[in-house]
Amino acid sequence: MYQIGISFSDDTLKVATRWDSNRDGKSLVQSIFESYNLRSPTPKIALSATLRFCRGVSKAQFLNAFTDAFKGYDQAAVENFQKAFSELIVGEIKEKDEFVLYWIDNGQVVVSMNGHIGSVLTDEELNKRLLEVYIDPKRTVSLELLHSLENNIHQAN
C-alpha cells in the first residue's frame, strides 16, 4: 500500500542509541515518549514518519488499516484520529501521495498530506500507539522497517 521512512531528530536519535545499547526492558516508543519535555515553551519535532503510497486506496481502506492498533482504545480519540486524516483526503488516495506524521516532543502529532498541514492529535496515548504501529515489535505493520531500525540504529550519527 505504501512505503515508509522514519526520521529522528538529533535528540530522539540520542534516545534511540541509548535505548539500543541498554535494552532495559522498555520499548523504543516508551523511551522516546519518556524523553519528551512536556513543559517546553518551544516544542520541537522529535521524529516523523513519511508514508508514500505505491498505489491508490480509498479513504476507508487507509483508515481501517489502523483498526487493530486502536482496538479497545477510547472511541472518541480514535474518531479524532480518523477525522484528522479524513479532512486531508479529498476523494481517493492516489499513487505517490504522501502523508507525514510529525511526533512533537510535547506528546502531540501533526498530520500532513502532500505538504498540506492538517489537524493536531493531542491524545498522547493514542499518539504512542500510532508510533507503535511502525516501530514496536508487538504492533508493527512493517517487520522490514523494524528490523532495519533495530539492526542499524547503532550506526546512526
SS3 per-residue string spanning 89-130: CCCCECCCCEEEEEEECCCCEEEEECCEEEEEECCHHHHHHH
Q: Where residue 12 falls among pLDDT bands split at 50, 70, 90?
A: very high
Q: What is the mean pLDDT of the chain?
A: 90
Cα–Cα distance, 78 to 50 (Å, whole number): 20
Whole-structure pTM value: 0.91
Output 152 or 53, whichever has higher pLDDT.
53
Residue ranges covered by each domain of the chain: 2-155
For the cut 90, the answer to whether the pLDDT of residue 25 exceeds it is no
Q: Tell me the pLDDT tens digit for each residue of 33-90.
A: 999 877 778 899 999 999 999 999 999 999 888 887 888 888 888 888 899 889 999 8
CB 130 within 8 A of CB 49: no
Is CATH 3.50.70 what the domain over 2-155 is classified as, yes or no? yes
Q: Is the pLDDT of residue 147 over 90?
A: no
User: In what helix (H) or strand (E) does residue 52 lie, and over which residues does it extend?
Assistant: strand 45-53
Other Cβ atoms within 10 Å of 79 Cβ, number: 11
pLDDT at position 101: 96
Whether 111 shows a pLDDT value over 90: the answer reads yes
How far apart, in whole angstroms, are the C-alpha atoms of residue 49 and residue 105?
14
Q: What is the dihedral of CA 72, 3, 122, 93, to 10 degrees?
A: -90
Percent of the chain exceeding pLDDT 90 equals 54
User: What local confidence, expressed as pLDDT, does residue 151 receive?
Assistant: 87
Phi, psi at residue 52, to the nearest 5°? -110, 120
Distance separating alpha carbons of residues 95 and 90, to the nearest angstrom: 14
d(CA 44, CA 36): 10
What's residue 142's pLDDT? 85
**Residue with the larger pLDDT of the pair 93 and 23:** 93
